């Protein structure tokens, strides 16, 4: 593992454990066992660390899965299953962060606080959301052409509702301490498709 990667992992775990505002840069440097000079060679601030952590552990994953979704074979229901499994896989991969168990809810709280703090992250998240909604719109149009979803509802509106459904389910999962994120997501997305499907 490179020094940069080790710093990112150490900071990530520190942010999750104590929260971004409660852990100092000096404590993070101490946890890495690096000199200040060696640390600052890679990162100048907690904010810089946070930006890279969010890009590495969240945005890059979403980008990759959005691309893969475009190439999933099958109908809209197969694609919903892919979305659900992708989000579940992301949760499982975050839980198994090396040999340390990560609280994925803490990560999502860190992400939400990060996009509030940083304009660049907020804009990146907005671009990411726009791109994902574009992918959802393409799969909805395909489902409309195949006769699964009503054509009188604009694909862009259904895509927006899919996005809101995913985000809302995740917030409910974080706030209500519910288990079974994948099952809730699948149930909510299938309910949404039920409303939009051709009778």
Question: In 3-state terms, what secondary structure has residue 153?
Answer: coil
Query: Is 182 contained in some domain?
Result: yes
CATH number where 123 lies: 1.10.357.10
pTM of the predicted protein model: 0.78
Query: What is the secondary structure of 24-41 as a DSSP string?
Result: -HHHHHHHHT--HHHHHH
Query: Is 82 contained in some domain?
Result: yes
Whole-angstrom distance, CA of residue 152 vs CA of residue 184: 28
Query: Is 187 contained in some domain?
Result: yes
For the stretch 53-71, pLDDT in tens is 888 877 777 778 888 888 8
Domain count, the chain: 1
Query: Is 36 contained in some domain?
Result: no
pLDDT of residue 137: 94
For the stretch 90-118, pLDDT in tens is 766 665 555 666 677 777 778 888 888 77
Whole-angstrom distance, CA of residue 6 vs CA of residue 113: 23
Query: Is 149 contained in some domain?
Result: yes
The boundaries of the domain holding residue 169 are 47-196
Query: Is 18 contained in some domain?
Result: no
Query: How far is residue 159 from each of residues 6, 34, 110, 164, measured CA to CA in Å?
Result: 38, 47, 26, 9
pLDDT of residue 70: 84
Query: Is 126 contained in some domain?
Result: yes
| Count, residues in the chain | 199
Query: Is 31 contained in some domain?
Result: no
Give residue 33's pLDDT band: very low, low, confident or very high (50, 70, 90). Answer: very high
In the chain, count H helices and then E strands: 10, 2
Q: Which of 124, 93, 121, 91 lies closest to 108, judged by CA?
A: 91
């Amino acid at each position: 593992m490179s020094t940069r990667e080790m710093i990112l992992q150490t900071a990530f775990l520190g942010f999750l454990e104590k929260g971004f505002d409660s852990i100092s840069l000096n404590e993070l440097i101490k946890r890495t066992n690096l000199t200040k000079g060696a640390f600052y060679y890679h990162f100048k601030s907690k904010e810089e660390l946070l930006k890279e952590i969010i890009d590495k552990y969240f945005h890059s994953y979403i980008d990759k899965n959005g691309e893969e979704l475009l190439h999933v074979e099958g109908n809209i229901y197969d694609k919903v299953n892919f979305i659900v499994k992708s989000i579940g896989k992301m949760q499982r991969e975050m839980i198994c962060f090396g040999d340390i168990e990560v609280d994925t809810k803490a990560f999502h709280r860190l992400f939400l606080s990060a996009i509030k703090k940083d304009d660049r992250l907020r804009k990146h998240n907005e671009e990411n959301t726009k791109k994902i909604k574009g992918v959802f719109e393409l799969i909805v149009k395909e489902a409309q052409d195949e006769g699964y979803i009503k054509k009188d509802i604009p694909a862009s509106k259904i895509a927006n509702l899919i996005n809101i459904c995913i985000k809302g389910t995740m917030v409910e999962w974080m706030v209500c301490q519910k288990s079974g994120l994948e099952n809730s997501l699948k149930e909510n997305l299938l309910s949404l498709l039920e409303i939009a499907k051709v009778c």
